C-alpha cells in the first residue's frame, strides 16, 4: 500500500513588512524566513509527518536551493531517490510578502517545476502503476500531470486531484474526466462551476456539477466552514475544528495530505474528511507552508478533543 505525490517543490522566501511597497518603492522587512513550499512538496511533507512515507516525484534544479531543498526533504524522512534533477533551469521559488493586516503578495517562479515532461514521468511509470493513492496539483505542466494520471490508472490507484491553481475550462474538464476524487477550495469551486459554496445547498449543487465532469467523489474545502463531501449519493458537511488561525497558507495542502493518509489507512470517507479537516486546521495555527504541517499525534489529539 502506498501514496505517491507528483507536483511542485519550491523554496519559499517570506518577508514581513508593515506595508507593501508601491511600484518603484523599496520597503524594509522586519523579519524574513525561508522554508519548503510548492503544493507538491507541501502535500508530500504533510503525508510524511502523518507517518506514511510517500513516493515523491518532483523536479528540482541542480543548484544551491535545490540541494538545500533535498536536505530538507531528507530531514523530513522523505525518500529523495525519485526526484527528477533538472540539468538547466532554477529550483522553483516563491517570493512572499506578508503585511501587518495579514494580507499576502506572492510571486512564484516555477523554474524547474515547469520543465517536468512526459519523458520524466515515463521513467517513473512503474512507481505510478504501483501506488494506491496519487496526489496531484496543477503547479507543473498539464501534459505531465495528465501523463502521471494515465500511468497511475494503468494500476489500481485512486487519483486525488487538487485543482489548484485552476486552469482553463477545457483543461479542467480533461483532468476531471480521469480523476476519482477532486478537492477544490471555495474559490476554485466557484471558478469551475459558477457556484460559490457557502452552505449545504450551494455546495451540493456545485458538487453535482463536478460529478457530471467525472469524479465519483467531490470534496469542497470551505475554510473555517470545514469541508463538504459527496460520493455515491452520500453527502455531508464536516464542521471545521475550532482553532486560532494565524496563517492559512498550505491549509488546503495539509488537508489533502491528511485525506490521503486517512483513506490509505482504510477510514470511511466521512472519517477521512474529518481527519483532513483536523490536519488543515492545525496547519492554520502555524506560520509557513510545508513547515505548518502537523504530526499524527497532534491530529489525533485534536480529533479526540484532548488538549
Ligand atoms: P485552501 O488552503 O486550499 O484555500 P481552505 O482555506 O478551505 O483551503 O482550508 C482547507 C481546510 O483547512 C478547510 O477545509 C478546513 O478544514 C481547514 N481550515 C482552513 N481554515 C480554517 C480555520 N480558520 N479554522 C479551522 N479550520 C480551517
C-alpha–C-alpha distance, residues 75 and 182, integer Å: 30
Q: How confident is the model at residue 306 (pLDDT cuts 50, 70, 90)?
A: low
pLDDT band at 115 (very low <50, low <70, confident <90, very high): very high
Whole-number pLDDT of residue 102: 77
63 is catalytic: no
Distance (Å) from CA 250 to ligand 1 centroid: 9
Q: How confident is the model at residue 247 (pLDDT cuts 50, 70, 90)?
A: confident
Atom 16 of ligand 1, nearest CA residue:
277
- Report CA Rg, the chain: 18
| CA pair distance 199, 194, nearest whole angstrom | 15
User: Ligand 1 mean position to 227 CA, how many Å?
Assistant: 8
Name the catalytic one among 12, 162, 180, 253.
Answer: 253
**Model-wide pTM > 0.85:** yes
Q: Average pLDDT in the 60-88 region?
A: 97
Residue pLDDT, tens place only, 13-37 = 999 999 999 999 999 999 999 999 9
Give me the half-sphere count of Cα atoms (radius 13 Å) on the Cβ side of residue 203: 24
Question: In the predicted model, what is the mean pLDDT of the chain?
Answer: 96
252 C-alpha to ligand 1 centroid (Å): 6
Which protein residues touch ligand 1 with a CB less than 6 Å away?
Answer: 185, 221-224, 226-227, 240-241, 243, 245, 248, 251-252, 255, 277, 280-281, 284
In the sheet with 234-238, reading across from the earlier edge strand, the strands are 55-57, 3-6, 133-136, 158-161, 181-182, 217-221, 227-231, 234-238
Structural domains of the chain, with CATH: 3-8+38-61+77-84+113-306 (3.40.1190.20)
Amino acid at each position: 500500500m502506498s501514496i505517491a505525490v507528483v507536483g511542485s517543490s519550491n523554496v519559499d522566501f517570506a518577508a514581513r513588512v508593515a506595508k507593501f511597497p508601491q511600484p518603484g518603492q523599496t520597503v524594509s522587512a522586519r523579519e524574513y524566513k525561508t522554508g519548503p513550499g510548492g503544493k507538491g512538496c507541501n502535500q508530500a511533507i504533510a503525508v510524511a509527518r502523518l507517518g506514511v512515507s510517500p513516493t515523491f516525484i518532483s523536479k528540482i534544479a541542480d543548484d544551491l536551493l535545490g540541494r538545500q531543498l533535498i536536505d530538507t526533504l531528507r530531514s523530513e524522512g522523505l525518500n529523495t531517490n525519485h526526484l527528477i534533477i533538472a540539468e538547466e533551469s532554477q529550483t522553483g521559488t516563491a517570493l512572499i510578502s506578508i503585511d501587518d493586516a495579514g494580507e499576502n503578495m506572492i510571486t512564484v517562479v516555477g523554474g524547474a517545476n515547469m520543465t517536468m515532461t512526459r519523458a520524466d514521468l515515463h521513467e517513473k511509470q512503474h512507481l505510478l502503476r504501483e501506488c494506491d493513492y496519487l496526489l496531484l496539483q496543477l503547479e507543473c505542466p498539464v501534459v505531465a500531470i495528465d501523463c502521471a494520471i494515465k500511468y497511475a490508472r494503468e494500476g489500481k490507484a485512486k487519483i486525488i486531484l487538487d485543482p489548484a491553481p485552476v486552469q482553463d475550462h477545457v483543461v479542467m474538464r480533461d483532468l476531471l474526466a480521469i480523476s476519482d476524487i477532486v478537492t477544490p477550495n471555495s474559490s476554485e469551486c466557484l471558478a469551475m462551476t459558477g457556484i460559490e459554496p457557502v452552505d449545504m445547498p450551494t455546495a451540493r449543487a456545485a458538487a453535482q456539477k463536478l460529478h457530471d465532469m467525472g469524479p465519483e467523489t467531490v470534496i469542497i474545502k470551505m475554510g473555517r466552514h470545514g469541508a463538504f463531501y459527496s460520493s455515491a449519493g452520500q453527502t455531508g458537511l464536516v464542521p471545521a475544528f475550532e482553532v486560532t488561525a494565524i496563517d492559512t497558507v498550505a491549509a488546503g495542502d495539509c488537508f489533502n495530505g491528511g485525506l490521503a493518509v486517512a483513506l490509505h489507512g482504510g477510514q470511511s470517507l466521512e472519517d477521512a474528511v474529518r481527519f483532513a479537516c483536523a490536519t488543515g486546521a492545525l496547519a492554520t495555527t502555524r506560520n509557513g507552508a510545508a513547515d505548518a504541517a502537523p504530526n499524527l499525534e497532534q491530529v489525533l489529539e485534536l480529533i479526540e478533543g484532548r488538549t
